[in-house]
Structure 1
């Protein structure tokens, strides 16, 4: 580029090449790509079974107590100022009191660091751990946000597998093999997203013991803990006691849903029941390997070999969106190619409609039907 005097100008800014690949791997960007395949003019409503935000549906509306508290805080004019970076003291105190109910020890407000959502929490935690030469152990499948943040801060990401044959438990032998003197922490997600499992107390105790032996911190990313159903009850991170340093990331606001949860969606929407009533499992066993004990999400294996003109999970999701107006999350973006993530955080009638459309799509593309 030349300036007004005809001399070439060399600008001093440019992209960070090392972050390019990490930035491309985004759940939101992948879902936007899938949604771009939607057929314009389809009169049917779009069924979003790839999202992770139940609050978009009326049946998941939070309690009026939470809404009134926010309105009262705004009208009080007490908080019309720059707030402390770590959170308003009264909010920190309330959260410490609330979380202490599930712990064998009592938290203080100084133990609480408030952020603008879990994404900022990940950013803060990773930046704190980012010393030169350090590495962090991440689950596979997992969230691309962790990889992007570790790359941004110069941490090395090592991946341990979650074992589908064992209900997506952590491969603790792999964790032991990966960890070294430079390992700063390991990340666990419980209840799990994207797999939908809930770790048992015994398995969490084994995780805690492994972390203690290796001398590494545990970053516990909790997802929708009170929107969980399945055989295993949600186990608070207090199982780790005080012998293992634990940083817990999560959205406390989701817990405001508790007062009415047994009377609402979860009481009437048992995924096993819907699978049984619609005979979804029986008709889909050739195409999808489905666990019948999901939580808010379920991760299913796609059998591409049984489908005509379907190359992989991305292709499956794109064509499903075009032909049936159903959105699923491809497993590739989560670290598992030819897997699919399906959410149950949606109203029951839409879930049944979406499952019926997936069934029709698979049967239409079945090689046996050609």
Structure 2
């Protein structure tokens, strides 16, 4: 066979679903925005797009957490393979940690360790993805859910979060969207991208609605306890006697260590429904055919969860309260941007873009691309999280950098303001 014709016979092709799914992730969109920044520009890049505060000294993790990792490595007890569901001491530590906020006690058998919260999301969406099934997701939301659902051929229907009601779930829309093929709804609390914190009574209504529809609730609580407003964090598992709840979480945010990739999936189901309907066995089956988190990090978990002091958590929450206040106050000074409610949790806030006040700005993507190019400030276009012509801004950076970044956004907005 001639070399020139051999390529015509190759039978393999790339999986197009991967390209489609990855394009709608936050990383995919931010990479597109970042391509417009010259790395050697005169001013430092200010990252207000991706919520990773670990790069800033004021957000360094707890010393006890660092020591726990060192101790685990030096012990030489965690150099081998772990059980696919996680090592027993780590499962027990997570069960104890989550049970502190619940009216009942979780068992270690309710806990499954994952490579960050993203693998926990992968697990439950893969488990639920039977033919014709659909899942209800919030808009705005975290686009990894859409990307992973697309990859698993799980159909998606969106319910709105209502900005005029503090980003509460539109429960009427949830009922209208659901049909006999609906398997679950997801909520993120504290909220990414909105910075909201759901109240107890609203979560109880979510549980009652899900029970009425016969669907489970995926409770994404990766930002648990990162609250600094009037509403305390309430885990969805509190309502595990009303509806089956799958909680996904990690140490990434509260301990400021996203790169450690240690997460979990927890079953909150006092009535045994998840076991009866095969969900528990399928979770184990998924974990049997995937990778698991590094064993030494699992080994460190009892010390990390059990011995981190309240002073560390208070320090982080106080910094977040300070930068959230700065963010909200400075946004009010920018004419073309409106913030519907002050953030009370997580690391983000959603703001509405008024294009009518701007010259030569087509939409939210155009705004972010030109802002990056002209001001070396990176923020996320709202379309990436489901709301066109909105913006998601993270405030989880050093206060002085945040002030400068928002000042640059104001200067950019004034420069592009429509002439009167």
TM-score between both structures, scaled by the size of structure 2: 0.82
Partner of 1:236: 235
Matches within 5 A, 1:6-45: 10-45=9-44
Partner of 2:288: none
The ranges of structure 1 where at least 4 consecutive aligned residues each deviate by more than 6 angstroms after the TM superposition are: 5-8
Partner of 2:289: none
Shift of 1:269: 4.7
Shift of 1:41: 3.8
Matches within 5 A, 1:77-88: 77-88=76-87
Moved more, 4-13 or 352-361: 4-13
The alignment status of 1:291 with 2:340, answered yes or no, reads yes
| CA RMSD after TM alignment | 2.2
The secondary structure found in structure 1 opposite 2:9 is coil
Shift of 1:13: 2.2
Shift of 1:29: 1.6
Q: Distance in 2 between matches of 1:288 and 1:6?
A: 57
Partner of 2:270: none
Partner of 2:245: 246
Partner of 2:133: 134
Contact 2:228–2:317, Cα closer than 8 Å, also in 1: no
Shift of 1:8: 7.3
Partner of 2:169: 170
Deviation string 1:293-352 (CA, Å, 9 cap, x unpaired) is 113210000011111111111111111111111110111111111110011111111111
Seen in structure 2, the aligned counterparts of structure 1 residues 48 and 147 have a Cα distance that, compared at 3 Å, is: same
Partner of 1:194: 193
Q: Distance in 2 between matches of 1:8 and 1:346?
A: 50
Contact 2:336–2:354, Cα closer than 8 Å, also in 1: yes
Q: Distance in 2 between matches of 1:137 and 1:268?
A: 30
Partner of 2:407: 356
Partner of 1:121: 120
Contact 1:204–1:239, Cα closer than 8 Å, also in 2: no
The alignment status of 1:48 with 2:47, answered yes or no, reads yes
Seen in structure 2, the aligned counterparts of structure 1 residues 79 and 263 have a Cα distance that, compared at 3 Å, is: closer
Moved more, 185-194 or 37-46: 37-46
Q: Distance in 2 between matches of 1:291 and 1:165?
A: 7
Contact 1:34–1:317, Cα closer than 8 Å, also in 2: yes
Q: Distance in 2 between matches of 1:320 and 1:113?
A: 42
Partner of 1:270: 322
The secondary structure found in structure 2 opposite 1:223 is coil
The secondary structure found in structure 2 opposite 1:52 is coil
Deviation string 1:14-56 (CA, Å, 9 cap, x unpaired) is 2344554333212112111111111454332211111111222
Q: Distance in 1 between matches of 2:405 and 2:253?
A: 25
Unaligned 5+ runs, structure 2: 257-309
The secondary structure found in structure 2 opposite 1:247 is strand
Q: Distance in 2 between matches of 1:130 and 1:250?
A: 21
Contact 1:48–1:326, Cα closer than 8 Å, also in 2: yes
Partner of 2:285: none
Q: Distance in 2 between matches of 1:49 and 1:367?
A: 25
TM-score between both structures, scaled by the size of structure 1: 0.92
Deviation string 1:90-127 (CA, Å, 9 cap, x unpaired) is 11111111111111111111100100111111111111
Say how many residue pairs are matched.
365
Q: Distance in 2 between matches of 1:254 and 1:336?
A: 24
Partner of 2:357: 306
Shift of 1:360: 0.8
Unaligned 5+ runs, structure 1: none
Moved more, 350-359 or 255-264: 255-264
Q: Distance in 2 between matches of 1:40 and 1:183?
A: 46
Contact 1:265–1:347, Cα closer than 8 Å, also in 2: no
The secondary structure found in structure 2 opposite 1:62 is coil
Shift of 1:262: 2.5
Contact 2:337–2:352, Cα closer than 8 Å, also in 1: yes
The secondary structure found in structure 2 opposite 1:51 is coil
Shift of 1:281: 4.5
The secondary structure found in structure 2 opposite 1:300 is strand
Partner of 2:259: none
Question: Pick from 380, 386, 397: which aligns with 1:335?
Answer: 386
